[in-house]
Structure 1
Amino acid sequence: MILIISDRRDIHAYFVVVELEKLGIEYGFLNGADFPTSMTMSQSIGEGADLCTFSLEDGSVAKSSEVHAVWYRKPGLPRLHPETGPHEREFAFGESREGLRGLYDALRHAYWISPLDNINKASNKLRQLRTAARLGFNVPRTVYTNDPTTARAFISNIAGGVIYKPVGDGALFERAGRWDPGTVVGEIYASLLDQSTIEAGISRFSACPALFQEYIEKDVELRVTVVGRSVFAAELDSQSHQDASVDWRRGDVLAIEHRVHELPIEVRQKCVSLVEELDLEFGAIDMIKCKDGRYVFLEINPNGQYLWIEDMTGLKISRAIAEQLQRGHEEAIRRGRACQVPC
């Protein structure tokens, strides 16, 4: 069985489900937010036993040993019972979260797109830049610092403008605690800085460090989605929209013209190598194609959105994910059978 771990509100999961059904592959759906209120789970360990069972969205019960491939998409946080008291919520959330981590560990024998620990490690943008540079990508000159002297020296050496961008996901949340999924009250995008903004930011370094990066003139922006060794490249004509010219996420992305982009073979190979080097099976890479023809790496989202790209370009990304899960599923079954053969 293929297990899809995601929030049912994420429409990406259903597009892949359609493709799995076309392939005739059994799948189950699990959302971590259902635990412990409406999802049951048991893990029995000791005296030679290691059994993990859990309920799926359709009410059926599955064993971890029955799962041969996992697509870890976008599950919600554990949703606690409304009668849980205010002093108990932090404890109950932690107990539920650790139980889910134990479930994922019980599924470590399966093929994953992508393993959760690998997604978390690959999400670090500084690691991404280092890895991309080591693989031969062009990367913007970048500094992350809370030292005013370092920041000013870096900025003084950049002739074409400097941008600020968050190292994290850029969302500003209002939360009641770790157990609260929170409400997004604002978002921080990549921003081209003027001198007064630079000085204001540097004056607050003791409160929060910053990442500065040279601004690079663009011909088009690229979203390159890698699934296994398959590469799907789309170009976004963000420079035709003033509000999207620095960061296309600021504008109405559906108003930006999208086209299929033919990457040079060496850039395609580097994109695949980057995903492999970060121990991922999927990656959504943001790049720039410069006016002089150079390709510049910006960042990679190890679990990024892609459905709007598929809708606007016709690139068959959901199909590729389903087929990659199928291959991983079949390989996991073969490995399991091989382990049962005496050496």
Structure 2
Amino acid sequence: MRQGHLAILTESADLHALLIQRVLHDRGRVACDVIETDSLCGDGGLSWSDTRSRLAVKGGGHLDVADLDVVWWRRGSNVQKIPPGITDSADVEVINNDCRTALAGAFWNDFHGTWVSDPHATALAENKLVQLRAAQAAGLPVPRTLVSQDPEEIRSFCRSVGDDVVVKSVRGCSSAPVFTTKVTDAHLREEASMRLAPAIYQECVPGQEHLRALVLGDEIHAVSIHSEDLDWRGRLPEEFRIAQVDDATRTGLVDVLRRLRLRMGVIDMKPDSSGVPVWLEINPQGQFLFMQALSGLDLVTPCVTYFEREALSAAHRVRP
């Protein structure tokens, strides 16, 4: 039986990638290499021709993209670690664009295995408007939502849901995360601010219980988070517990991934006053190891088993 081969495309020092790689190595059934996609600049690590795509891997050595069975597209479009002596903005833009585009082209041309998940599907699924529509189509409860930068429409929406509304960014930025917050009268008076860009205005789901689930194919591994904060990410709470989801929610979450063409995802929900989980959002490649550390729920084993199974299955399919 041919050994499977997994490559993890991610940023430098990604604990998730390094831990999964180590456990797979210990099991010995699937080879696993890490490609640090933010370190292409300067290391001479990428070569593509009409016969092969060659990439440097963390720890030394190279791989051929066509030999891979599974690619975990965890962090695939990173800004490069550019030497400090290169400061011209045009030079920086060229380096970032060319590294990103060459990497993507090499895989789009020569990889014929299984994506986890497909980069195009991942990019689409990261859009919160697309997520919400998929969750609705899957039959999951979704808060009443408005995405707008029209002050009058925003005020009208807030009145329609009893002025119990939260606001969050449509995309935001990684350098200065914007956490979900309650809409106040002061917010609604800031016309100029509201007009600058669309934001997500959403009916508030009351309560202090939150649900976060790692979905791997049709497997769901969830934790319950108790937090007095509206957005628990701003101040990580201490109380994490292993949780179960009901059959209807399980079916709905698996269906959302199918509709978004994802093979894994980290999903945030919040139980309503009746205990029914209400959809909030999905991160196609979210963080999940902290869930294990704080709840005791083993997530590494099912994650490794999932990748191992996918790699071995792909290894025995006929390639084009």
TM-score w.r.t. length of structure 1? 0.86
What amino acid sits opposite 1:197 in the alignment? Answer: H
Q: Does 1:191 find its partner at 2:181?
A: yes
1:14 Cα deviation from its structure 2 partner: 2.0
* Partner residue, 1:79: 81
Deviations 1:262-313 (A, max 9, x none): 1111111111111121111111111011222222101111110100101122
Q: Is 1:36 aligned to residue 36 of structure 2?
A: no
Kindly indicate whether the alpha-carbon contact (under 8 Å) linking 1:160 and 1:215 is maintained by their aligned counterparts in 2.
no
Contact 1:73 1:303 in 2 (8 A): yes
Distance across 2 between alignment mates of 1:262 and 1:107 = 40
Q: Which amino acid aligns with 1:191?
A: T
Cα displacement (A) at 1:198: 1.8
Tell me if 1:26 matches 2:31: yes
Distance 1:286 1:293 in 2: 15
**TM score, norm. by length of structure 2:** 0.91
SS at match of 1:273: helix
Name the residue aligned to 1:175. Answer: none
Query: In the aligned structure 2, how far is the partner of 1:136 from the partner of 1:322?
Result: 30
Give me the identity figure in percent. 25
Mapped partners of 2:118, 2:86: distance in 1: 31
| Equivalent residue in structure 2 for 1:125, among 124, 128, 131 | 128
| Unaligned runs of at least 5 residues, structure 1 | 172-183
Q: Is residue 2:225 matched to residue 1:213?
A: no
Mapped partners of 2:244, 2:62: distance in 1: 45
Match of 1:91 in 2: 94
Query: 2:234 matched to 1:247?
Result: no
Superposed counterparts of 1:87-236, under 5 Å: 87-159=90-162, 161-171=164-174, 184=175, 186-200=176-190, 202-236=191-225
1: CA distance, partners of 2:60 / 2:21: 17
Contact 1:225 1:284 in 2 (8 A): yes
Q: Contact 1:72–1:112 at 8 Å: present in 2 too?
A: yes
Deviation at 1:333, TM superposition (A): 1.8
SS for the counterpart of 2:49 is: strand
1:67 & 1:60 partners in 2: Cα distance?
15
3-state SS of paired residue (1:150): helix
Residues in 2 aligned to 1:169 and 1:22: alpha-carbon distance in whole angstroms:
39
Residue 317 of structure 1 is matched in structure 2 by 299
Query: C-alpha separation between the residues in 2 aligned to 1:262 and 1:207?
Result: 41
For residues 38-95 of structure 1, the C-alpha deviation after alignment (integer angstroms, 9 at most, x for no partner) is 14211112xxxx3111111222121112211111223542233444461422223222
Q: Secondary structure at the match of 1:164?
A: strand
| Structure 2 residues not aligned, in runs of 5+ | none
Moved over 3 A (4+): 81-85
For 1:78, give the aligned amino acid: Q
Aligned equivalent of 1:4: 8
What is the aligned length? 313
The one-letter amino acid of 1:149's match is E
- Aligned residue for 2:193, secondary structure, equals coil
Distance 2:193 2:152 in 1: 13
Q: Distance in 2 between matches of 1:39 and 1:67?
A: 20
Q: Say whether the 8 Å CA contact 1:222–1:286 is kept in structure 2.
A: yes
Q: CA deviation at 1:329?
A: 1.4
CA distance in 2, matches of 1:19, 1:305: 18
The separation in 2 between residues aligned to 1:312 and 1:44, in whole angstroms, is: 47
User: Equivalents in 2 of 1:169, 1:321: separation in Å?
Assistant: 28
C-alpha distance in structure 1 between counterparts of 2:209 and 2:159, whole Å: 27
Deviations 1:227-254 (A, max 9, x none): 1111001000113xxxx2x111121x1x
8 Å CA contact retained: 1:160, 1:216? no
**Distance change in 2, residues 1:22/1:266 (3 Å):** farther
Q: Secondary structure of the residue that 2:222 maps to in structure 1?
A: strand
**CA contact 2:80–2:95 (8 Å) conserved in 1:** no
Q: Is the contact made by 1:234 and 1:261 (CA closer than 8 Å) also made in structure 2?
A: yes
> Aligned equivalents of 1:111 and 1:299: distance in 2?
25
